Amino acid sequence: MTAPDLPPAFEPASPARSIDLIAAELDLTGTVDLAYATLEQCVVSADAESVDLTGATVVDVDMSGARIASLRMRDAGVRRVRIVGGRIGTLDLSEARISELELRDVRIDYLNLGAAKVTDLDISGCAIRTIDMPQAELTRVRFTATSSDEVDPRGMRAKDLDLRGLDAMAYLDAHSLRGATLTSFQVQQLAATIAAGIGIQIKD
């Protein structure tokens, strides 16, 4: 995982739809429309209700301590991005193209990776209530010291997916975990889900 390539100084900037920003400092509040924008070598802080980065290109960006109710990055291109600390209600990365994304010490209610194409994702020290990954393509994804109430991996395709550091209360479909690495204890916890998926009834 490579840290964002950031310049020594930044210029304050205001957000706008389809804007191109390089070496900018953004302080986001309220409802923010950055759909189809380009953010390159930027630092971002936020205390916002909604931030829309749909279809945006986000490269070498650092976001620290953000508090955002809804962060939409659907169909975005994401490369060398780091999000550290803060609280995000919904983080929508569905259909995004992701290369080198780090989520560290973030509280997230809902993380959506549906149909995303992901290479090099590191999630550490996070508390994520729900993780949705249906139809996602995941390569080199690692969880460390992270917890989740529910994980939906249906239709997911994975290579080098390390779930040993994810303490999940429930997986909706164990069959879609093909390609993942788990601990023996995690596999024991999944026994009932695996049995149900292949039609085995468990009765004591």
Domain spans of the chain? 15-195
Quote the pLDDT of residue 204: 76
Please tell me the predicted confidence (pLDDT) of residue 1: 82
pLDDT band at 160 (very low <50, low <70, confident <90, very high): very high
Average pLDDT on 25-51 reads 98
Query: Which pLDDT value is given to residue 128?
Result: 99
Whether residue 197 is predicted with pLDDT greater than 80 in this model: the reply is no
pLDDT at residue 195, as a whole number? 63
- What are 161-174's pLDDT values in tens digits? 999 999 998 888 87
Residues 37-49 have pLDDT tens digits of: 999 999 999 999 9
Q: Tell which CATH classification among 1.20.1300, 1.10.3470, 3.10.350, 2.160.20 matches the domain 15-195.
A: 2.160.20
**pLDDT surpassing 70 at residue 125:** yes
pLDDT higher than 80, residue 156: yes
DSSP for the chain, written as a single string: -PPP---S--EE----TT-EEESEEEEEEEEEE-TT-EEEEEEEEEEEEEEE-TT-EEEEEEEEEEEEEEEE-TT-EEEEEEEEEEEEEEEE-TT-EEEEEEEES-EEEEEE-TT-EEEEEEEES-EEEEEE-TT-EEEEEEEESEEEEEEE-TT-EEEEEE-TTEEES-BS-SGGGTTEE--HHHHHHTHHHHHHHTT-----
What pLDDT score was predicted for residue 86? 98
